[in-house]
Amino acid sequence: MSAICFYFQIHQPFRLRPYRFFDIGRNHDYYDETTNPAIIKKIAEKCYLPANEIIHNLICRHNGNFKVSFSISGSALDQFERYAPEILTSFQKLVDTGCVELLAETYAHSLASVASKKEFRRQVSQHVGKIYNIFGQHPKVFRNTELIYNDAVAHQVADMGFNGILTEGADSILAHKSPNYVYLAHTPSELKVLLKNYKLSDDIAFRFSDQSWNQWPLSADKYVHWLNRLPEQHHVINLFMDYETFGEHQWADSGIFNFLQELPEQILSSSGFSFVHPSEALNKFEPIDILSVPHTISWADEARDLSAWLGNSLQCDAFESLYKLKKKVRRCENPEILRDWQYLQASDHFYYMSTKDFADGQVHNYFNPYPSPYLAFINYMNVLSDFEVRLNKCLRTKARLIKHKQLIENLLRDEKRSLEASVKV
């Protein structure tokens, strides 16, 4: 029997406030404390709370036969705790049903996997700890920021002890293969790979309310008809999308919530599909082939590579300027600097600097709080300049403290030797 695997991504960055050149060295408040809570509360009302209620009701109505999975970034969880704790309560209620699996990712939804092995491992470990502390689950499956993946990433994820990883079912890596199977990663380990079926996922996430689409309007009946036309030997249909699809990207008046309510009923009653968690899919189905991905892929833009974040000189300059500080940061023990280092790594900051046109550009502009990518770059670099000033000051202070400590230790040692010599006399 084939299965449906629903995975929803949840991430919210700490958006930066307008930060002027003249703020550098004077003002260390980087985050927009008006916009950030307002956005969290707006999306909670439009998406998180109503969608969670629908999913909870579906789980109860179908006696646990409806299952979903989530990956919630650490920065999103931090904002839920700070601005809208009712969101966390709602997700805890979902997890308590036993029908929700939580996945691991980078804490700050960062690009650390392509920048620093140590930072990547540190962020993943921190995220796993956060998930366990809030929800009592220890993630077994990993999904990298924006489904970024290559053979090297797979190797690192396997070394961290995960059973499987999610990524994009990009045509460039599949050739004529189907994404509807479990694959084995190209590593020495037994790490398994689940691939997003981007056509069926994007029919919901991007095309649902598009009245120019030749399949509009999309109903649950029509969608299940498409599923039933798939070859019976296919193992698992991975439907991966942003959770904000429901109510935020696709507004309530588009009928998206009715679709969410009706789809599980139609699948369970009118098809041979069941619902599985990612870890269940990995255990239930044997890999059919080894998947080698030497070049980095993601689920972003038509190119499905890293160009959404590192596609121009602005983005590369900001990215390199950030990660050249990593060795200094590792020597710093200031909790506020470590917090800012984490939040400044969010991939969103580089996404805002994209200069892409056409369809990709429209998507970037939809999520961009800045009037232009150049202003995004200037604002970010101003903040990063101040961060570096603080970091260097912290390290100088630490060096002085270490030197002072060594001086005291030397004095105490000399005094001890002097006393021991006087006793002998």
Q: Is there a single domain that holds both residue 210 and residue 347?
A: no
Q: Compute CA distances 279 → 69, 234, 420, whole Å.
A: 10, 17, 66
Q: Is the model more confident about 131 or about 406? A: 131
| Domain range enclosing 332 | 307-411
Whether the per-residue pLDDT at 407 is higher than 50: the answer is: no
Per-residue confidence (pLDDT) for residue 403, from 0 to 100: 46
Q: What is the full DSSP assignment across 364-402?
A: HHHH--SSSHHHHHHHHHHHHHHHHHHHHHHHHHHHHHH
Q: pTM here?
A: 0.91
Q: Per the domain annotation, does 183 fall within a domain? A: yes
* pLDDT band, very low/low/confident/very high, at 419 (cuts 50, 70, 90): low
Q: Is there a single domain that holds both residue 255 and residue 383?
A: no
For residues 285 and 182, is the Cβ–Cβ distance under 8 A?
A: yes
Q: Measured between alpha carbons, how far is 365 from 308 in angstroms, rounded to an integer?
A: 12
Q: Which of 101, 146, 168, 244 is catalytic?
A: 146
| 275 three-state secondary structure | strand
Q: Per the domain annotation, does 297 fall within a domain? A: no
Q: Is there a single domain that holds both residue 340 and residue 381?
A: yes
Number of folded domains in the chain?
A: 2
Per-residue confidence (pLDDT) for residue 368, from 0 to 100: 82
Q: Per the domain annotation, does 318 fall within a domain? A: yes
CATH number at residue 243: 3.20.110.20
Least confident of 123-127, 233-237, 401-405: 401-405
Bridging pattern class, strands 192-196 and 164-168: parallel
Q: Per the domain annotation, does 423 fall within a domain? A: no
- Phi, psi at 30, each rounded to 5°: -95, -25
Percent of the chain clearing pLDDT 90 (strictly above): 87
Express each pLDDT in 74-87 by its tens digit. 999 999 999 999 99
Q: Is there a single domain that holds both residue 250 and residue 314?
A: no
Q: Is there a single domain that holds both residue 38 and residue 174?
A: yes
Per-residue confidence (pLDDT) for residue 261, from 0 to 100: 97
Q: Which two tokens stand for residue 31?
A: 């985050």
Q: Per the domain annotation, does 9 fall within a domain? A: yes
Q: Measured between alpha carbons, how far is 156 from 296 in angstroms, rounded to an integer?
A: 14
For residues 114 and 152, is the Cβ–Cβ distance under 8 A?
A: no
Q: Which two tokens stand for residue 98?
A: 């036993």
Per-residue confidence (pLDDT) for residue 412, from 0 to 100: 55
Q: Measured between alpha carbons, how far is 8 from 224 in angstroms, rounded to an integer?
A: 19
Average pLDDT over residues 300-308: 93
Express each pLDDT in 169-186 by its tens digit. 999 999 889 999 999 999
Q: Is there a single domain that holds both residue 127 and residue 275?
A: yes
Per-residue confidence (pLDDT) for residue 397, from 0 to 100: 79
Determine which helix (DSSP H) or strand (DSSP E) holds 213, and give its type and residue range.
none
Whether the per-residue pLDDT at 425 is higher than 80: the answer is: no
Express each pLDDT in 267-284 by its tens digit. 999 999 999 999 999 999
Q: Per the domain annotation, does 220 fall within a domain? A: yes
For residues 81 and 74, is the Cβ–Cβ distance under 8 A?
A: no
Bridging pattern class, strands 290-291 and 141-143: unpaired
Average pLDDT over residues 391-407: 67
Residues in CB range of 335: below 8 A, 6 or more apart:
none
Q: Per the domain annotation, does 419 fall within a domain? A: no
Per-residue confidence (pLDDT) for residue 408, from 0 to 100: 47
Per-residue confidence (pLDDT) for residue 342, from 0 to 100: 96
Residue with the two structure tokens 């990663």? 185
**Active-site residue flag, 146:** yes
Mean pLDDT for the chain overall: 93
Closest by CA to 278, choosing from 116, 114, 181, 141, is 141
Average pLDDT over residues 346-367: 77
Q: Per the domain annotation, does 153 fall within a domain? A: yes
Q: Is there a single domain that holds both residue 106 and residue 169?
A: yes
Question: CA 45 from chain center: how many Å?
Answer: 21
- Phi, psi at 402, each rounded to 5°: -65, -45
Per-residue confidence (pLDDT) for residue 417, from 0 to 100: 66
Q: Is there a single domain that holds both residue 80 and residue 184?
A: yes
Q: Is there a single domain that holds both residue 347 and residue 403?
A: yes
Bridging pattern class, strands 192-196 and 182-185: antiparallel
* pLDDT band, very low/low/confident/very high, at 357 (cuts 50, 70, 90): confident
Closest by CA to 6, choosing from 256, 200, 140, 170, is 200
